[in-house]
């Protein structure tokens, strides 16, 4: 098979599926895995796809600027989020002063949070109401409300953070990438995440495995600036750059 023909078949698979593995491509095209890897590297250099550990993803999958609403995001990766949130909730102790970021995975954390004397601060509107109803001591940040994510954001929220010193913070993310770090589509939400992390002794990012090798427009932390709690890790290279906890 000629090189150009291989390129076309690889790109066709990537566009159809969004993400493909080297082994699957090699089997489908009846070509050696080493040849597929070389082709993926060349196509990545050409900007036709994005090379990731063990395979490739489409450029559309890799770079996402979409910000979906809470209800839509909550329907994805439910079991994975439950596993991650259960582990994270058990890290909170009575003497902790904790920041809980807005988001669907951090919302799950609240579901698993036992009765506690910990003080909790959040920028999530629904988070604050749920925590209050369950008897937790909670403070809500001020700021501009993002209707899509139901979060208090922007300069006012960052100013509110200035008086706090957290023992732990739990952040959500839209993407994780070795080069670009932790990313989100919204500049104002990125500001809150960055400043909350800077004011925390321990920083945890809660992210299901689908968030890896994906980049949103705004970086809020470098890859080595937070622990990651995830359901499973496929690209082991991340372990060379930060601490990772797998819950499955």
CATH label of the domain that carries residue 48: 1.10.10.10
Q: Are residues 77 and 39 in the same domain?
A: no
Q: Are residues 51 and 82 in the same domain?
A: no
Q: Are residues 126 and 33 in the same domain?
A: no
* Number of folded domains that form the chain: 2
Exposure string over 38-70, b if 16+ CB within 10 A, otherwise e: ebbeebeeeebbbbbebbbbbeebbbbeebbeb
User: What are the pLDDT tens digits along the chain (248 aa)?
Assistant: 788 899 999 998 888 777 788 888 999 999 999 999 999 999 988 888 878 766 787 776 555 555 555 545 555 567 899 999 999 999 999 999 999 999 889 999 999 998 889 999 999 999 999 999 999 999 999 988 888 888 999 899 999 999 999 999 999 999 998 888 999 988 899 999 999 999 999 999 999 998 998 888 889 999 999 999 999 998 899 999 999 999 98
The domain boundary, picked from 42, 62, 82, lies at 62
Domain that includes residue 181, residue range? 70-246
The domain boundary, picked from 41, 62, 83, lies at 62
């Amino acid at each position: 098979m000629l090189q150009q023909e291989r390129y076309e078949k690889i790109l066709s698979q990537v566009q159809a599926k969004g993400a493909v593995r080297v082994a699957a491509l090699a089997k489908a095209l009846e070509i050696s895995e080493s040849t597929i890897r070389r082709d993926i590297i060349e196509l990545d250099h050409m900007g036709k796809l994005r090379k990731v550990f063990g395979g490739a993803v489409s450029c559309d999958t890799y770079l996402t600027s979409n910000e979906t609403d809470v209800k839509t995001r909550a329907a994805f990766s439910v079991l994975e989020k439950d596993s991650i949130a259960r582990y994270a909730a058990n890290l909170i102790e009575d003497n902790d002063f904790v920041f809980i970021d807005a988001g669907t995975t951090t919302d799950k954390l609240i579901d698993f949070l036992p009765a506690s004397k910990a003080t909790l601060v959040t920028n999530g509107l629904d988070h604050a109401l749920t925590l209050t109803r369950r008897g937790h001591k909670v403070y809500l940040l001020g700021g501009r409300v993002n209707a899509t994510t139901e979060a208090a954001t922007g300069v006012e929220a960052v100013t509110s953070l200035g008086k706090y010193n957290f023992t732990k913070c739990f952040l959500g993310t839209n993407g994780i990438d070795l080069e670009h770090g932790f990313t989100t589509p919204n500049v104002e939400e990125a500001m809150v995440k960055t400043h909350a992390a800077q004011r925390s002794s321990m920083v945890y990012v809660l992210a299901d495995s689908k968030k890896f090798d994906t980049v949103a427009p705004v970086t809020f932390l470098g890859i080595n600036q937070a622990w990651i709690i995830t359901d499973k890790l496929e690209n082991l290279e991340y372990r060379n750059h930060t601490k990772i906890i797998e819950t499955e």
